[in-house]
Amino acid sequence: MAIERTLSILKPDATRRNLTGSINKVFEEAGLSILAQKRIQLTRAEAEAFYAVHKERGFFNDLVGYMISGPVVAQVLSGENAVAKNRELMGATDPKKATEGTIRAMFAESIEANSVHGSDSAENAKNEISFFFAEIDIVG
């Protein structure tokens, strides 16, 4: 299996409850390394651009409002099969449907305030990483 990179975001519900360390522990214990990390306040335009794929969905405006309701932590994770592994660690979008032990089962508040984002393909990972980080910021 190849070593991959994926983009992770700890969402405002996670930063508000001081869960950065608890969630990072899940990643690190599963063998994912944090190669870059920054805590930022997204602007509305940035959140709209990041979630542009969802702009036709009914929840888009609420989602953008939620993503700018507080700071987020953007991070680059690396490891074997990192894209799929992170999705597995995150659990289902709706925490009520998430497998026990996953980040969303343990920490998410709702289908919207679900604590984490993770890229869903290697190609999206590449684009999402470059949305937040320059190559010089990513230290392997």
DSSP string, 21-74: HHHHHHHHHTT-EEEEEEEE---HHHHHHHTGGGTTSTTHHHHHHHHTSS-EEE
Binding mask 56-85 for ligand ATP (x = CB under 6 A): ---x---x----------------------
Given the residues 19, 77, 117, 129, select the one marked as catalytic.
117
Identify how many contiguous H helices and E strands the chain contains and give both numbers.
Answer: 7, 4
Q: Is 117 a catalytic residue?
A: yes
Query: Binders of ligand ATP: how many residues, by CB under 6 A?
Result: 10
d(CA 20, CA 4): 22
Q: Do 129 and 7 touch, CB atoms closer than 8 A?
A: yes
Within 4-63, which residues bind ligand ATP (CB under 6 A)? 54, 59, 63
**Part in contact with ligand ATP (CB under 6 A); list of ranges 21-29, 37-45, 71-79, 115-123:** 115-123
Binding of residue 109 to ligand ATP (CB under 6 A) = no
The set of catalytic residues is 117
User: Contact residues for ligand ATP (CB under 6 A)?
Assistant: 54, 59, 63, 93, 111-112, 114, 117-118, 120
